[in-house]
């Protein structure tokens, strides 16, 4: 059973054209960009974004995209580019970029595989944002540092494998991969990316997240990063990747998956 069928939910998506330059041409994402310095700037007339004040950052706002897919991903990022690149905007350790991946169209055991793949690749994903040291940020807690989060993932994996919806998993939303969104929005929320005014950098991260879903759909060897990330791997590679993947595999074994 697909998650959307189980929770009676569908994603409200504006019709656009599939983008075959993306790892998945028709999967929607939601992008949340927190940025300091933009409060008070005229941000009217944005087609793809809602603007919310964010009290957790200084003089900042949160730009929240509508569910976007295909060509709309590039259009939406280009639309917000001049605001991110203006003189007032500045990134900080208090702000970040979150990407919600639509999983409503996945069978629930496939979402279980998404969580397993994530645990294997968690350190690899954190490495992509090493400059912001997200793994030590209280609002982006890695599973490998938290027994509580590990227990939650284990419970979710077990439930999803039996086609049961994993309701209300964490008491807070600050796990690096927030699984609470499975039942609230039908998404998985990736919180790893630090604050950035670089639209191309944000798009590359969206592509990495989309590729995770592709790897699950293709049922590739999760221990092989070249199979998981495909053509993206050449820009993700780093010396300790295989060691970190082994750590992820051992974590899976440790929690009994």
With tokens 């993206």, the residue in question is: 232
| Count of alpha carbons within 13 angstroms of residue 51, beta-carbon side | 17
CB neighbour list of residue 180: distance below 8 Å, 6 or more residues apart: 168, 169, 170, 173, 189
**Which range among 4-8, 18-22, 87-91, 176-180 shows the weakest confidence by mean pLDDT?**
87-91
Q: In whole numbers, what is the pLDDT of the chain averaged over residues?
A: 91
What was the pLDDT predicted at 183? 83
Q: Which of 48, 15, 10, 53 is nearest to 35 (CA)?
A: 53
Q: Which of 215, 218, 224, 214 is nearest to 248 (CA)?
A: 224
Read off the pLDDT band of 122 (50, 70, 90): very high
**Separation of alpha carbons 154 and 236, rounded Å:** 27
Tens digit of each residue's pLDDT (9 = 90 or more) over 135-187: 999 889 999 999 999 999 999 999 999 999 887 666 567 899 998 888 889 99
What was the pLDDT predicted at 251? 96
Whole-Å CA distances, 21 to 81, 188, 212, 257: 20, 22, 16, 34
**Which range among 5-14, 35-44, 233-242 shows the weakest confidence by mean pLDDT?**
35-44
Question: CB of 137 within 8 A of CB of 126?
Answer: no
**Between 7 and 161, residue with greater pLDDT:** 161
What was the pLDDT predicted at 37? 81
pLDDT, mean of residues 184-205: 94
User: Domain tally for the chain?
Assistant: 1
| Count of alpha carbons within 13 angstroms of residue 44, beta-carbon side | 2
Question: 162-168: long-range contacts at Cβ-Cβ below 8 A with a sequence spacing of 24 or more?
Answer: 163/1, 163/6, 163/108, 163/109, 164/108, 165/3, 165/6, 165/7, 165/108
Tens digit of each residue's pLDDT (9 = 90 or more) over 29-38: 999 999 988 8
Tens digit of each residue's pLDDT (9 = 90 or more) over 44-101: 779 999 988 877 788 888 999 999 999 999 999 999 999 899 888 888 888 999 999 9
What was the pLDDT predicted at 170? 64
Residue 105's domain comprises 3-254
Task: Kindly tell me if the per-residue pLDDT of 131 is higher than 80.
Answer: yes
**Separation of alpha carbons 51 and 82, rounded Å:** 15
């Amino acid at each position: 059973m697909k998650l959307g069928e189980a929770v009676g939910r569908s994603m409200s998506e504006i019709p656009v054209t599939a983008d075959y330059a993306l790892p998945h041409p028709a999967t929607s994402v939601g992008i949340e960009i927190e940025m300091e310095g933009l409060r008070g700037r005229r941000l009217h007339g944005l087609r793809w974004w809602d603007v919310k004040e964010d009290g957790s950052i200084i003089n900042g706002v949160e730009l929240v995209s509508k569910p976007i897919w295909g060509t709309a991903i590039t259009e939406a990022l280009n639309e917000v580019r001049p605001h991110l690149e203006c003189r007032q905007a500045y990134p900080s350790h208090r702000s970040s970029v979150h990407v919600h991946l639509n999983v409503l169209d996945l069978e629930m055991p496939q979402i279980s595989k998404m969580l397993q793949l994530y645990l294997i690749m968690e350190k690899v994903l954190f490495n992509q944002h090493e400059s912001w040291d997200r793994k030590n940020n209280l609002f982006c807690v890695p599973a490998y540092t938290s027994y509580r989060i590990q227990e939650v993932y284990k419970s979710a994996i077990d439930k999803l494998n039996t086609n049961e919806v994993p309701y209300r998993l964490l008491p807070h939303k600050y796990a690096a991969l927030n699984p609470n969104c499975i039942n609230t929005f039908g998404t998985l929320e990736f919180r790893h990316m630090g604050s950035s005014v670089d639209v191309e950098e944000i798009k590359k991260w969206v592509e990495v997240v989309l590729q995770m879903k592709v790897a699950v759909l293709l049922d590739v060897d999760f221990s092989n990063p070249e199979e998981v990330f495909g053509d993206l791997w050449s820009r993700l590679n780093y010396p300790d990747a295989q060691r970190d993947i082994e750590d992820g595999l051992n974590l899976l074994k440790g929690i009994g998956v």
